[in-house]
Amino acid sequence: MPMAPPPDLSSLSLAEIVQAMEAQKLPPVSQWNPSHCGDSEMRIARDGTWFHQGSPITRPAMVRLFSTILRREPDGRHVLVTPVEKLDIAVEDAPFVAVAMKAEGEGRDGRLVFQLNTGDLVAAGPAHPLRFVEGEDGPRPYLHVRDGLEALIARPVYYELAERALVGDDQVPGVWSDTVFFPLTDATAA
């Protein structure tokens, strides 16, 4: 069964985005516990490109399909899992990249929805927090996607977040989404 193409975030209203998010159905990978079978010979680069045996996977539908069976193990490893096999996959940073953002509302009433490189939609909030890590190349923002899997927020999208944070009170720069305030600073740096 072919996967539907990802939605165009810019053309959707917040109500349509919520409806699309609710329609996203993922396999129950957390319930599958097959024996470890080896290495998938796959890797996800920092920019979100998926590779198999050193060559990029150029079919977006294939990447979307693989992303639905991706799981993070308690020891931090990433695996592709089905009911009958579990294969390691190398992840350079985060397995997903947030490539677009739609913001509605202001202040405490604000809501931020991110579109991932796989087409998935994720609304920042209590179940999907934002976090910021200071790196050598500046802040690296992340969005929790599901079950320990995160999305690195692409630099242009981070700039949109920063612009949104600068509009407001003279308090700690940050953004609101789904009644949660996310400071744009590394909480571990303090």
pLDDT tens across 99-140, in order? Answer: 999 999 988 899 999 999 998 999 999 999 999 998 888 889
- The answer on pLDDT for 2 being more than 60 is no
Cα gap 159→161, rounded to integer Å = 5
If you average pLDDT over every residue of the chain, what do you get? 86
The H-or-E segment that residue 60 falls in is: helix 60-67
Which are the contacts of 50, defined by CB distance < 8 A and separation ≥ 6?
A: 42, 43, 44, 56, 57, 63, 66
Record the tokens describing residue 64, joined without a space. Answer: 């979307």
Report the predicted TM-score, pTM, of the whole model to 2 decimal places.
0.83
If pLDDT is split at 50, 70 and 90, which confidence band does 1 have? very low
* pLDDT of 99: 96
* pLDDT of 36: 84
8-state DSSP, 113: E
Let me know: does 57 contact 51? Beta carbons within 8 Å. yes
If pLDDT is split at 50, 70 and 90, which confidence band does 172 have? confident
Other beta carbons within 10 Å of 20: 19
Average pLDDT of the segment spanning 170-185:
86
Q: How far apart are the first and last CA of the chain?
A: 49
- The answer on pLDDT for 17 being more than 90 is no
